Amino acid sequence: MLPFLIVGGVGLAVLLISLLIGDIFDHFDIGDGAISGTALGIAAVVFGASGVITYTAGLDTVWAYVLAAVLAVVAYLVAVLFVKRLTKSSDGVPASALGLSGVSRSDITPAGGEVSLDGPSEVERRLAYSDAPIAEGVRVRVIEHAGTRVKVVAE
């Protein structure tokens, strides 16, 4: 039973590391992303948990290892499919705010300020700056988009 606990514990550690700081195997060029730290962590946790459960249920040790290995492989494949599907569905490209109008939510200067923009994907305030000072509550229009900040002018 100890090997199941060790593999399950290592899998839990790999899973937590992958979830907190990102997939640890992305930094290595192994199989063009075929190895996922998240999926390996899930598989090791499933191996350990299913091995402990089958071992304590009274099955022979051989059957506990076989069942744990089969369930771990299935869990790995399912996790890889879900990770790839989630990765493909994430566009990762921020929508451009160029040309959108909105309202200044604070005084805007060349040093900075905040605006709320009228756009379908605009749900939060954006950091903004302008060449000339703009008072709070003034209608503005985005003329430049640089990273997370937008350059605005008064309308």
If we measure between CA atoms, which residue out of 122, 125, 113, 117 comes closest to residue 101? 117
User: What count of Cα atoms within 13 Å lies in the side-chain half-sphere of residue 39?
Assistant: 20
Mean of the per-residue pLDDT values of the chain: 83
The residue among 135 and 146 whose pLDDT is bigger is: 135
Q: So what's the pLDDT on residue 25?
A: 60
Is residue 143 a contact partner of residue 153, using CB atoms and an 8 Å limit? Answer: yes
- Looking at residue 30, what DSSP letter applies? S
Give burial (CB, 10 Å; 0-12/13-18/19+) of 10.
Answer: middle
What's the angle, vertex CA 22, arms to CA 18 and CA 28, rounded to 5? 95
Q: Is the pLDDT of residue 32 over 60?
A: no
Tell if the pTM clears 0.85, that is, is over it. no
Is residue 104 a contact partner of residue 134, using CB atoms and an 8 Å limit? Answer: yes
Q: How confident is the model over 52-79, as pLDDT tens digits?
A: 998 888 888 888 899 999 999 999 888 8
Q: So what's the pLDDT on residue 123?
A: 73
Q: How confident is the model over 111-121, as pLDDT tens digits?
A: 889 999 887 77
